[in-house]
Homo-oligomer: A and B are copies of this chain.
Amino acid sequence: MTARKSRHHHGNLRATLVAAGVVLVDRSGPDALSTRKLAAQAGVSHAAPAHHFPSLTHLRTAVAAEGFRRFTAAMEDAMGRADAHPRAQCDAACRGYIAFARGHPGLFQLIFGGHDLVREDVEFCAASGQAAALLSRIAAPFAAGARDRAAVETMIWAQVHGFCSLMLSGQLAVADGIDPADWFLSLPGRAPVGSDAAHFPLARNGTAA
């Protein structure tokens, strides 16, 4: 189905470019993305991508959207293999978060690293919105009111995201032989805390509830 014979029309160029872009970013980082490289890899001329993406920024945005989908999938995957208990689900999501950042640093940095993206792109918004919705769902059991909910969401996200971000930028060295996710989950005072006593199997100081 892909590139039957070697015709003038590729038939599926847009998807091919995005897929190749994901691989390239994953391997060589966000800055390695190049319309000409992807065009060559897809076997088309250097200007072909321009007919599917108005600019490199748009192509980068499409790759980032796919990155967001895989990011969400990483969390959902970890959650699917965990207990249904709210705290276990939250911990699992954090594990998925950290695993994605470690396994796909290029995509992680493309998504969160402040690169030039078309932030109002509908596909990108949908993909990032799904990730945000997942975080929101995880935070819900730990919050009473709307303000609590925003606060708990922010804390969960900020903590795990800051941990990943610092780890990737080399500012936070985790000792050899220690799994970063284990280390993160063992940190005292990790969110959610506060009004979540009912869903919190371990008390804040490490003693059983």
Contact = CB atoms under 8 A, between A and B. Distances in A.
Interface of A: 29-31, 105, 109, 111-116, 119, 128, 132, 148, 151-152, 154-155, 157-163, 165-166, 168-172, 186-195, 204-205
A209 B148 CA distance: 21
Contacts of A172: 154, 157-158
Given A162-B161, A172-B154, A189 B187 contact: no
Given A112-B169, A113-B114, A157 B151 contact: no
Nearest to A190: B155
B119 A114 contact: no
A202 to B, nearest CB: 12
Nearest to A157: B166
Contacts of A161: 162, 165-166
A132 B171 CA distance: 8
Contact of A159 (B111, B155, B170, B204): B155
Given A188-B193, A204-B193, A204-B194, A31 B116 contact: yes
Contacts of A113: 109, 113-115, 169
A168 B157 CA distance: 14
A64 to B, nearest CB: 11
B160 A114 contact: no
Nearest to A165: B165
B29 A187 contact: no
Given A30-B114, A158-B160, 6 more contacts: A113-B113, A154-B163, A159-B162, A161-B162, A161-B165, A193-B204
Nearest to A131: B171
